[in-house]
Amino acid sequence: MEPAPAPQMVRLALPDSAPYVTYSLIGATVFVYLLQLASQAFLTFDFPVGLLAKSNDLIRDGQLWRLFTPALVHGGIAHIGFNMYALLIFGVGLERAFGHGRFLLLYVLGAFAGNVMSFLFTTGVSVGASTAIFGLIGAELVFLIQNRKIFPNQFRSAIGNVIFIIFVNLFMGLAPSIDNWGHVGGLFGGVMFASFAGPLWNVEGIPPMLQLVDQREPRSIFTGAVVTAVIFGALAVWGLLR
């Protein structure tokens, strides 16, 4: 009987592109925060917050951009520092997996979904990118589940880490000063979009040179964006009319 052949080394090529959307989002958010600091110093009030924060009364007056723009303004250095760190940690990998345009769409829809839920269930003024960050976390959860066969050895630990992060942050969000409804909305928005539009990786090529190819069709990405926007848009309209 001949001995079994030695295991062959296989190279699996992962998507590799610079996450410039993630870096651009961080840069834009930090720039707006610097404007906040300058405004507080020279105008004695925070003009960006006054223009961009979620305010239910102003949204009902027609300032609908406030369902998106609160992700650009923050309540302090610790607030923006934590959110930008989370954006860097989740954004780099997700942008490489989703691609630049789809990742940006995910971020915007997560912010929108979170701010709609905040508009419906909280009355206070809200700021922060955590709505969009929770959208990324929700998309990470769906991405791992849908591609679990690609990374069988890492799946359990990775999915456990994401679930742990979700529960810890939602628990921390029970503090009176934190808008947890925004977190919940962002999470659901990210899950909803990624369920339709997230990458479905398939291994292609000839060993030992294999690569991951996204099998998701463009029309599914479009469907995911439309479904998420329509559902949360309808909730926003309901909130405006009630």
Residue 176: what are its φ and ψ, rounded to 5°? -55, -30
What is the spatial distance between Cα 74 and Cα 36, in angstroms, rounded to a whole number?
9
- Of 55, 118, 126, 130, the catalytic one is 130
For 100-164, give the DSSP string.
HHHHHHHHHHHHHHHHHHHHHH--S-B--THHHHHHHHHHHHHHHHHTTTTSTTTHHHHHHHHHH
- Of 55, 118, 126, 183, the catalytic one is 183
Give the number of other CB atoms < 10 A from CB of residue 146: 16
Residue 100 bears catalytic tag: no
Give the number of other CB atoms < 10 A from CB of residue 75: 17
Residue 183 bears catalytic tag: yes
Give the number of other CB atoms < 10 A from CB of residue 53: 22
Q: Which amino acid is at 188?
A: F
**Which residues are part of the catalytic machinery?**
130, 183
